Structure 1
Amino acid sequence: MGKLTKLVGAAGLVAGAAYLTNEENRRNVKKQIDEAIRVFNPDYKKELGKPADIDDAEMVSEGAMTSVQYYNQSQENRTHDKIS
C-alpha cells in the first residue's frame, strides 16, 4: 500500500478511537450495530409482512387489493382508448 493510504487509514483509526472515548457515542454505535444485526437476522426477515394483529392484516390485504384494482382499471382504460 502507498504511504497516503496508510496515513488515511491511521487517521481514520485515531478519529474512530477519539469518537468512541465519549460514553454516549459508544452507546449510539452499539445501538446501531444491534439494530443492523436485528435487521439482517433471518428470523426478522421471515416476520416481515406478517402482522400478528388481525386488524393490521386486514388493512394490508385491503391496500393490496386497491393497488391491483387501480392497475386493472388503468389497463382497461388503455384498451378502450386504443379501440376508440
Structure 2
Amino acid sequence: MLVLTRKPNQSIMIGDEIEVSVLAIMGEKVRIGIQAPRHVPVFRTEVYLEIQDERLAGAGDEVVAEVDAALRDLGGPAT
C-alpha cells in the first residue's frame, strides 16, 4: 500500500485519468473527491463488498438454473 500525506486542496493522480483530492479535514473525518471517467466504477468499500456478495449469490442461482435445465434435458429429476 502506498501511503501519502496530503493537505486540503491537494490531490494525487492514479494513472492519467483518476484524480483523488482532499476537499476538507474535519476532526477525524476526511472529505475526498474522486474525478474519474464514467467507465471507471467508484464505490465505498462496504458498497463494493455488498455488490460482490450479490453477484456471487446471483451466480450461484444461475448455476443451479443451468444444472436444472441440463437435468430436464436429460430427463432426470430437477431440484
Give TM class, smaller chain.
Answer: 0.3 to 0.5
State which structure, 1 or 2, has the greater radius of gyration over its C-alpha atoms.
Answer: 1
Q: Which structure exhibits the higher relative contact order, with contacts defined as CA atoms closer than 8 Å and separated by 6 or more residues?
A: 2
Higher helix share: 1
Give the structure-1-normalised TM-score.
Answer: 0.41
Higher strand share: 2
